Amino acid sequence: MKTIKSSGQKIICLNRKASFNYYFKEFFEAGIVLRGSEVKSLRDGKASIADSYALDKNGEIYLINSHIPLYKQSSYNNHDPKGDRKLLLNKKEINSLIGKINQEGLTIVPTKLYFYKGKAKIELAVAKGKKLYDKRLVKKKKDWRREQARILSRNK
């Protein structure tokens, strides 16, 4: 369990895959509607948002395909690990997100799940998917920077 504390935040999980697969346009912070067993499981630091995304259903934004494992000590009150979770946003934010999804062909990707002042929050990014050649270019630049650092460290 790796937790990073900075400015009152306790990071539960990060979506490292998202920055490789998408260009981020804009970021939003949203609350999540959770049950008690889900919160307990999150406090243990067990969650995954690697393959998740957000959609609108009936004018509300839901987090789809996020995995919060079952809490062992909760008996019959346990939750669905892969269930859809409602996100708490202002009406203005919801309308702008729905407009961007429908018109511009963008998607909503979660980047970070964390606790802020005792409340579970999620950072959402409005993102555009990268093409395969873009991913290759990013990987090539990253490898070149790493090689430059090795060369400079040898010369010193």
> Cα(107)–Cα(136) distance, rounded to whole angstroms?
21
pLDDT in tens, 98-147: 888 887 778 899 999 999 988 889 999 998 888 887 788 888 888 999 99
pLDDT in tens, 8-45: 788 888 888 888 888 888 898 999 988 787 888 888 88
Q: Where are the domains of the chain?
A: 7-130
> Cα(60)–Cα(30) distance, rounded to whole angstroms?
12
Q: Identify the residue with better confidence: 77 or 143.
A: 143
Instruction: Classify residue 71 as exposed, middle or buried by CB count within 10 Å of its CB (0-12, 13-18, 19+).
Output: buried
The pTM of this model reads: 0.76
Pinpoint the alpha helices (H) of the chain.
16-21, 36-43, 91-104, 132-155
Answer whether CATH 2.40.280.10 is correct for domain 7-130. yes
Among 15-19, 62-66, 79-83, 88-92, the minimum mean pLDDT is found in 79-83
Reported residue count of the chain is 156
Beta strands 85-88; 60-64: pairing state: antiparallel
Q: Which two tokens stand for residue 128?
A: 């555009």
> Cα(100)–Cα(25) distance, rounded to whole angstroms?
11
> pLDDT category, 47, cuts 50, 70, 90?
confident
